[in-house]
Amino acid sequence: MVGGDSSGGGGKPPSPLMSLAAGGIAGGVESACTYPFEFAKTRVQLYGHDVSADGRRLSRNPFRIVARVARDEGLGALYRGCSTMVVGSAAKDAVRFVAFDAIRAALLPPEEENGGKALSPARSVAAGMAAGVVASTLAVTPAERVKTALIDDARTTRRFAGAWDCIATLAREQGVRRALWRGYVTTTLKQIGATGFRFGSYSTIKDMERARGINPDGAAMSFANGAVAGTITTLLTQPFDTVKTKAQQARVVGTMESVRTILAEDGIRGFWRGTVMRLGRTVMAGGILFTANEQALKMLKALSGQ
């Protein structure tokens, strides 16, 4: 399992309810800590660069974007759509952790489960991919759609009063399915890759460390392992994230139209728009996510007397 000390170590796995709670806590903490990078990445993916209030093209550097927005629009602007992201991330990671643990356990042969052996890297990645489909359907696509629409709206029409107003307005104009699940295919493809590589690589790294007599469960090791898993995931899944963001802006834009627009504006390299921002976020996010999950599991086990 990903959580606690049960990842290939033969320890008692956490209950589904405990995995759900720990994953939700971890997702909320990670999202709140790293949201300004997500904000900067989304702006660059939507417009190809940061933009001023009067439409001037500005920097693509994430630190300059964060500093410029904080100076010109106030610190609160950096967290436009953050509440949606925090709630969505808590739900997403709660679902991802519990789904990954359940699917990984199902893929573990009985003799390996009894012997405490590690799951193969291929099966770990497959479990992560399946968990990504579940998470995208239940939580990720709706949360990403609303977050992206809010960030886009803040720079353009400014017609949404908040997340619930955004949902109600888009549902009224486009129908519930388009309002909340626009960009589902690209988001799901991204989640299949992201969850598969992130959870699979994290689990595999922990199993390799245990096989070499290294304890991977401390906070520092959890952070380092999560950061490595986040780096691998970002570089491999960035094109899906870029197309997904373009397709989820406030106005109606199809997936293929998004692909054509990106190609026309920047060519193939355009599919890696926002890589620096996303890499900066996911390196920290991977470390924070898995560290928070490990610590939350320890806290929940202590509270429950396990």
The pLDDT value given to residue 113:
46
Q: 57 — phi, psi (to 5°)?
A: -75, 130
Q: In a 10 Å sphere around its CB, with 0-12 CB exposed, 13-18 middle and 19+ buried, how is residue 54 labelled?
A: exposed
pLDDT tens digits for 41-94? 777 777 766 666 666 666 667 677 788 878 887 887 777 767 777 777 788 788
Q: In a 10 Å sphere around its CB, with 0-12 CB exposed, 13-18 middle and 19+ buried, how is residue 173 labelled?
A: exposed
pLDDT-derived band at 112 (thresholds 50, 70, 90) equals very low
What 3-state class would DSSP assign to 57?
A: strand
How far is Cα 163 from Cα 145, in angstroms, rounded to an integer? Answer: 11
Segment 197-209 mean pLDDT = 84
pLDDT tens digits for 209-228? 888 888 887 778 888 888 88
pLDDT tens digits for 244-262? 777 766 566 777 888 888 8
pTM of the predicted structure, to 2 decimals: 0.56
